[in-house]
Amino acid sequence: NAGVTQTPKFQVLKTGQSMTLQCAQDMNHEYMSWYRQDPGMGLRLIHYSVGAGITDQGEVPNGYNVSRSTTEDFPLRLLSAAPSQTSVYFCASRSEGPPAPYEQYFGPGTRLTVT
């Protein structure tokens, strides 16, 4: 049971390049989400999904796309990278069913630098 995995761990992009951050979970969780973590701002929700084929926007969705074709995978796409997207990105998953607390399980994070 690997939990939530993310690749790559580190990435450097030039402004304007595109890339996909990969996220996978093997816990059969319905709910998956992407956060970015910037100094002094905690974690901010980018996009989330409540099941295969269903996605929605979080607090800071601009510049990012997601899709959810399977329960296991939830990739995050940067369409045209900007320096403002330099951040640490976390993928998380959780169950929707009881019992509480339905805590989120986080991946190890991807540190992205855009120059």
Partner 1 sequence: AQKITQTQPGMFVQEKEAVTLDCTYDTSDPSYGLFWYKQPSSGEMIFLIYQGSYDQQNATEGRYSLNFQKARKSANLVISASQLGDSAMYFCAMRASGGFKTIFGAGTRLFVKA
Residue 95 touches partner 1, criterion: CB under 8 A = no
Q: Could you give the CA distance from residue 55 to residue 61 in angstroms, rounded to a whole number?
A: 11
Residue 98 touches partner 1, criterion: CB under 8 A = no
Applying CB under 8 A, the span of 14-22, 42-50, 62-70, 77-85 interacting with partner 1 comes to 42-50
Among 1, 28, 42, 98, binds partner 1 (CB under 8 A): 42
- CA-to-CA separations, 21 to 40, 74, 103, in angstroms, rounded: 23, 9, 23
Q: Nearest to residue 53, comparing CAs of 73, 24, 28, 34?
A: 73
Residue 50 touches partner 1, criterion: CB under 8 A = yes
Q: Which residues contribute to the site for partner 1 (CB under 8 A)?
A: 31, 33, 35, 40-45, 48, 50, 56, 58-59, 88, 90, 92, 100-106, 108-109
